[in-house]
Structure 1
């Protein structure tokens, strides 16, 4: 690995270490330490969606036109460190929520900024980017292992003592380090001319033209709907494992990221062999299977069902969302490549997840009991919902006009 790629890899590692270091255990912390309801927990997770919705304004109107990407990245992470420290100090949900909302508005644009910094330094992005981006997944994995196996903050006793509060302090330190480190990254000045393009182009709204294509429109709607079951995983998986007494739940959940890396490598081969439609269908089916496993598994003799459900993350995420990005890129062509990716991100992590976290919060409250939750009822809801999206997708493409990649599309 070259020195430059090593520097970019460290940037990716810290970027996702920060996110994975507090987001995975957020639901458990809010419920056990701050006494938040399911709806309040849903509100906290939905700040990710508000950040995703507002991110195009930061990237399109500021980073792409006026300032170097690495400098904005540095400033946002330094501000983020202050906000994470305030989350560490918060004593109730009312004090917590404004800071987590502010933090996600600051953090979500950095996901695009680290990509911008990385891509601008590469001679062959198709070959080099995956080797650098994978260190972000490693960072997420390491964060979970540190929480579970180094500090033990997610054990039953530690949760009862409020130890998960320390995740915010850990991530505040990491955010400050990345902020300072970002000033040393290669210069990445804006490419766009200040006078070029209008607001519609900057926000990716010109890609709405793609919705005139029936197959893309159906895929677009399915992408929004499948984010509803996705929100259940982010919001409830860690509290579920902790509540039923599974040891080291955060560390166990890193199996999902390991799976993500493995299936990411297999994805191009699968698409070539079976096509994009079957790949998308398998991704949707995996969501339904995963939640059925969660509904009927337990922390005892059926623990293997929970482990399999977690390990399905690679198929759930890669085979639908990553293959969906490939499909979107191919359908967009050269005209709408950037704006089309922005549009699908806005639809999924923005609108889709916003609806999903709201639904997940309401369902979780509905199945709350005096001693915890009826987890079987909670998990069966997204299982049936994902299956419904799958059936609707199949029916929509019952005619010969199937969703498929253009013949000239390349898979790297």
Structure 2
């Protein structure tokens, strides 16, 4: 198994995410955008994720050239993002975000099928490769957070992101195809799978969880800055969350021996609600923020690892790529877009505490949706 080359894709993909996600709202604020505009702009990558993975997944299924499509998508991401160097107005930034995110959002769902093909059905080994994405994220979020207080002004953020998109594209050129993406027999039609109540509940619960993450991804850095944190402190708190995620991924195969995927999912949703309440009401108490960031291991890491496991169980053989695309588009896409968009308006009308409290309510609603059925039929 080409462990290093597979891990490299996750490393550079999530390094770019670590440079972009925590600090892009600060960059947008620095060039004059207000909270509603920032929320709208940050909703665009999630919105394109509703369409992009499904379209590119369909192309991969019909051409059988998944890896070639990944390489083209990575190259197009780099080229489209570089247009940001020539625009600073709202319409121009929106256009850049639409362009690069349409291609960027295609890469990961397609690559998940390549990775799982190389794993030969041993989905529990996935977390050992995926954790390198978290390592890349934490490295860049910490480095840029420190740099913002010194030699690296936020105005230089586009150069860092473009550099990482270029490295991601170059790394796709050395990854081998697994040759197994579409092998195996499906269990019934795709429509039949999607009509199952447990599958519907799975997608709804994950969508609600990502709605709850919207104010975190869009406004957490702004929230901390408003409460006196400098760039290094902001970066360290982001890094702590992802470090907890790395520990979770590294030990997830052991966790599966102690608890079922269903139990891990339900427990993680409950802890996610607690996390947003701590951020809402404990932002002035460092201890609460530290605990909340450690809970990123539950709200993202554990839920995502379980979701990959459940998608692998729900969508077999030729349906697997479509299942990964649907998981990405409905949860991170639709859920993320709604969370980002609504948090911009909520930030103005309800204030930060109201928005994060509403996020906790979304997690409890997700727990109620998942409790009756999700994961009962998948070991």
Give the shorter-chain TM-score range: 0.7 to 0.9
RMSD: 3.2
Specify the alignment match of 2:198 in structure 1: 215
Match of 2:76 in 1: 79
Change (3 A) 1:380 1:213: same
Matched residue SS, 1:185: coil
2:275 aligned with 1:290? yes
Are 2:353 and 1:406 equivalent residues in the alignment?
Answer: no
| Alignment match, 2:27 | 29
2:220 partner SS: helix
Match for residue 163 of structure 1? 153
Counterparts of 1:220 and 1:10, CA distance in 2: 29
Match of 1:260 in 2: 245
Match of 2:356 in 1: 379
Q: TM-score, length-normalised on structure 1?
A: 0.79
Q: Which residue of the partner structure matches residue 320 of structure 1? A: 303
8 Å Cα contact 1:327/1:405 also seen in 2? no
Match 2:94 to one of 92, 97, 107: 97
Distance in 2 separating the partners of 1:246 and 1:342: 37
Partners in 1 of 2:118 and 2:140 — Cα distance? 27
What SS is found at the alignment partner of 2:52?
A: helix
Distance 2:120 2:362 in 1: 43
> Which has the higher mean CA deviation after the structures are superposed, 32-41 or 334-343?
334-343
Distance (whole Å) between structure 2 residues aligned to residue 14 and residue 304 of structure 1? 31
Q: Could you say if the C-alpha distance between residues 405 and 273 of structure 1 is closer, same or farther in structure 2, counting changes exceeding 3 Å? A: farther
Tell me which moved more, 316-325 or 124-133.
124-133
CA–CA separation in structure 2 for the residues paired with 1:221 and 1:183: 36
1: CA distance between counterparts of 2:196 and 2:31? 47
CA distance in 2, matches of 1:22, 1:393: 31
* Counterpart for residue 185 of structure 1: 175
- The aligned counterpart of 1:112 is 109
CA distance change for structure 1 residues 218 and 181 in 2, over 3 Å: closer, same or farther? closer
TM-score (norm 2): 0.85
Shift of 1:144: 0.6
Structure 2 CA distance for partners of 1:324 and 1:120, relative to 1, 3 Å: closer
- Unaligned residue ranges in structure 2 (runs of 5+): none
Q: Report how many residues are paired.
A: 374
C-alpha distance in 2 between matches for 1:125 and 1:15: 23
String of CA shifts for 1:159-212, please: whole Å, max 9, x gaps.
xxx92232221121222233234334335779769xxxxxxx9xxx95342344
Unaligned runs of 5+ in 1: 194-200, 368-373
The offset of 1:116, in angstroms, is 4.3
Q: Which residue matches 1:250? A: 235
Q: Residue 164 of structure 2 is aligned with which of 168, 174, 189?
A: 174
**Counterpart for residue 145 of structure 1:** 142
- What is the DSSP-based 3-state SS (H/G/I as helix, E as strand, rest coil) of the residue aligned with 1:7? helix
User: 1:232-276, CA deviations, whole angstroms, 9 ceiling, x for partnerless residues?
Assistant: 211121211122122321232011111112223444544554434
Displacement after TM superposition at 1:134 (Å) = 1.9
Q: Render the CA deviation track for 1:281-302: whole Å, top value 9, x for unaligned.
A: 2222122111111122234xx1
Moved more, 327-336 or 375-384: 327-336
Alignment of 1:50 with 2:47, yes or no, is yes
Cα shift at 1:384: 3.0
